[in-house]
């Protein structure tokens, strides 16, 4: 989704829009995400495609750390369900939401570190450090 060959980080909007179209979400959510991709800001006379950069970062983050992403989503769903409980839900939600997020992120991070791509990346880093004589 990014092209670093030109020296500047360029975002491939077509690739981001293709990924958005493949998501298993409602058409309304796809329209919202697609409109976010087109969001730009001007800083110091340069036009920056902020929306595309944010969406690309989110996709890369979810790809690199699927356990953490799942933990966050599960925690937010549980938080929403708790806040929907009449009378006590709005009272419990401010206390339980941060706890659920901490638990979800922690368990997801443990899952990502003990299984999956993180182990491969850390092994690759270790091999590079050994070949450089650092480790």
Separation CA 41–CA 49 (nearest Å): 7
- pTM, entire model: 0.64
- Looking at residue 47, what is its pLDDT? 81
DSSP label at residue 25: S
From first to last of its 135 residues, the chain has per-residue pLDDT tens of 555 444 445 778 888 999 999 988 889 989 998 899 888 888 888 888 888 888 888 888 888 888 899 999 999 999 999 999 999 999 999 999 999 999 999 998 888 877 766 677 777 778 877 877 765
Please report how many Cα atoms fall inside a 13 Å half-sphere around the Cα of residue 69, on the Cβ side: 10
């Amino acid at each position: 989704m990014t092209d670093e060959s030109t020296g500047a980080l360029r975002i491939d909007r077509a690739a981001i829009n293709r990924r958005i179209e493949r998501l298993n979400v409602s058409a309304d959510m796809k329209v919202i995400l697609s409109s976010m991709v087109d969001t730009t800001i001007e800083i110091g006379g340069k036009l920056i495609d902020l929306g595309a950069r944010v969406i690309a970062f989110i996709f890369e983050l979810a790809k690199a750390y699927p356990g953490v992403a799942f933990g966050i989503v599960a925690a937010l769903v549980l938080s929403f369900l708790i806040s929907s409980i009449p009378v006590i839900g709005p009272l419990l939600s401010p206390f339980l939401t941060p706890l659920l997020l901490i638990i979800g992120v922690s368990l997801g991070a443990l899952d990502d570190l003990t299984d999956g791509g993180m182990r491969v990346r850390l092994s690759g880093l270790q091999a590079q450090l050994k070949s450089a004589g650092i480790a």
